[in-house]
Amino acid sequence: MKAAEYELRGDILVIHLKADLDHHTAVAVRESADSLLARSHAKHILFDFTGVEFMDSSGIGVIMGRYRQVIFQGGRVGVMGVGSNVDRIFKVSGLYKIVEQYESAEEAFTRPAKECFAGSNDIK
């Protein structure tokens, strides 16, 4: 089973996760994402968690690692399709402080960065 499928939407690299995001799949996702980032003009990264029921701290490493890759070029990292289990991990880890949550790929990064960070503080 593939860990993820990748889609370029303008300057956004969308990573459609297809399996639990643990240490095993994290390695594959990291390698593929970085290779695509290097070869494309993608500025932002959107992780699509639709259908993903499990993530552990390895997933946090993947997201933070990609965040570090894009932030210096003015890029941002977003997530969509986050289910309740993954949402708890995001909340416990404080990841929503740096990652923006969107309803869809169409909506991703349409909010100004500042506004979305103000919004993310409201997430309890």
Q: For residues 85 and 54, is the Cβ–Cβ distance under 8 A? A: yes
Strand-strand pairing, 12-17 and 4-9: antiparallel
Measuring CA to CA, which residue among 124, 51, 45 is closest to residue 88? 124
> Does residue 62 belong to the site contacting other proteins (CB under 8 A)?
yes
Of 4-12, 18-26, 43-51, 106-114, which part binds other proteins (CB under 8 A)? Answer: 18-26
The smaller minimum CB distance to other proteins, of residues 62 and 82, is found at 62
Shortest distance, position 22 Cβ to other proteins, whole Å? 5
> Does residue 71 belong to the site contacting other proteins (CB under 8 A)?
no
Burial of 121 (0-12, 13-18, 19+ CB in 10 A): exposed
What's the rounded Cα separation, in Å, for the pair 64 and 62?
A: 6
Q: Residue 43 corresponds to which amino acid?
A: K
Among 43, 54, 105, 117, binds other proteins (CB under 8 A): 54
Of 17-25, 41-49, 102-110, 116-124, which part binds other proteins (CB under 8 A)? Answer: 17-25
Give contact residues for other proteins (rule: CB under 8 A).
20, 22-24, 26-27, 30, 54, 56-58, 60-62, 64-65, 84-85, 88-89, 92-93
